[in-house]
Amino acid sequence: MTQRVLDVAALTEGTADSRSLIWWGNLAMLAIEGTMFAMAMATYLYLRSTNLDWPPSTVPKPDLLMPTINTVMLLLSCIPAFIIDRASITKNMLPIRICQALSIAVGLLFLYIQYAVMVPSLGYKWSSHAYGSVVWVIIGMHTLHMVAATGETALLFLYSLFKPVLKKHLLDFRCTAVYWYFVALVWVPFYFIIFIEPWMQRKGS
């Protein structure tokens, strides 16, 4: 009796697309992180529903200029992320490097504006009241993600300057781009609740 076999020697080793393990792992991580942000949003909405004075009357009318610039900038940074993703398919290193440098710059600038301009102008701290607590928690969570996304991009950027870029690294570029979309897009609803909502409420005053 002959033993039947299934020969897989012709299969490629590793893919830089949605079939790979890392891609799936990345998506699962985003599901977890997304649930965390959803919980933070639920916290905000829950406390909003149980407080008549929301945001508390001591919260000043926010200045919209810098937060809006920061949010738009973050959204626009999805374009370099998209270019990194596309260029990784064909391993076109020049656009990848330019866009990685751009992403790192945007990440650092965003964090700088967040902490040097926006946070000081909030007018309350995490310990002022529950409203302050939830807003600071949201900003803190998003900062951690922003640091992670920027750090990851910087690490890949530096790595690709000194070491050979292989298929597995192209996959890393692509996953980082997906992560970047997540970090950028998840900020948008929080921009609305942290800045637009109190601004609308205080518009007349």
Partner 1 sequence: MTELAVLPPDFAKEAAIMEKTWASKPGVIGWLSETGHKQIGLRYIVTAFLFFLAGGIEAALMRIQLLKPENHFLGPDAYNQIFTMHGSTMMFLFAVPIMEGFGVYLVPLMLGTHNVAFPKLNAFGYYIYLFGGLFLYTMFLLHAAPQAGWFSYVPLAGPQYSPGKGVDTWAQMITFTEVSGLVVAVELVVTTFKQRCPGMSLNRIPLFVWSMIVVSFMIIFAMPAVMIASGYLSLDRLVGTHLYNRSEGGDPLLYQHMFWFFGHPEVYIIFIPGLGFVSSILTAFTGRKIYGYTAMVSTLVVTAFLGFSVWVHHMFATGLPQLGESFFTAASLMIVLPTGVQIFCWIATIWSGRFRIATPVMYVIGFFLVFIVGGLTGVMLASIPIDWQVHDTYFVVAHFHYVLIGGALFPLFGAFHFWFPKWTGRMYSEVMGQISFWLLLIGFNVTFFPMHILGLYGMPRRVYTYQPGMRWGNLNVLASAGAVFMALSVLTMIINFLVSRRAGRVAGANPWNADTLEWSLPSPPPVYNYLHVPTVSGLNAVWDAAPDQPYVTGMRFDRREILITRVLDAEPDHTEQLPGHSPWPFVLSCTMCIGLWGAIFFAWWFTIGAVLSGIALIGWFWPSDRELEDHILREKGELGGLELGMPEPVREEMP
User: Residue 123 region, left (φ>0) first, then alpha (ψ -120 to 50), else beta?
Assistant: left
Helix (H, G, I), strand (E, B) or coil at 163: coil
Q: Is residue 163 at the binding interface for partner 1, with CB under 8 A as the rule?
A: yes
* Residue 162 in contact with partner 1, rule: CB under 8 A: no
Q: Residue 143, interface with partner 1 (CB under 8 A)?
A: no
Q: How far is the CB of 16 from partner 1 (least distance, A)?
A: 11
Closest CA to 22 of 151, 175, 145, 182: 175
Q: Could you give the CA distance from residue 144 to residue 102 in angstroms, rounded to a whole number?
A: 20
Cβ 69 to partner 1 shortest distance, Å: 28
Q: Is 15 in the site for partner 1 (CB under 8 A)?
A: yes
Are 124 and 58 spatial neighbours (Cβ–Cβ below 8 Å)? Answer: yes
The piece of 40-48, 70-78, 81-89, 188-196 that touches partner 1 (CB under 8 A) is 40-48
Q: Which of 61, 167, 193, 196 binds partner 1 (CB under 8 A)?
A: 167
Query: Is residue 43 a contact partner of residue 37, using CB atoms and an 8 Å limit?
Result: no
Residue 129 beta carbon to partner 1: minimum distance, rounded to whole angstroms: 5
Q: Which is nearer to partner 1, 45 or 72 (CB)?
A: 45
Interaction of residue 203 with partner 1, rule CB under 8 A: no
Least Cα distance to 76 among 49, 109, 46, 45 occurs for: 109
Query: In angstroms, rounded to a whole number, what is the distance separating the alpha carbons of residues 54 and 34?
Result: 25
Binding letters toward partner 1, positions 44-83, x by CB under 8 A: --xx--xx-xx-x---------------------------
Sequence-distant (6+) residues with CB within 8 A of 47 are 54, 130, 131, 134
Asked whether position 10 contacts partner 1 by CB under 8 A, the answer is yes
Is the distance from CB of 22 to CB of 160 less than 8 angstroms?
Answer: no
Interacting residue ranges for partner 1, rule: CB under 8 A: 1-15, 19-21, 24-25, 28-29, 31-33, 35-36, 39-40, 42-43, 46-47, 50-51, 53-54, 56, 126-127, 129-134, 136-137, 151, 155, 163-164, 166-168
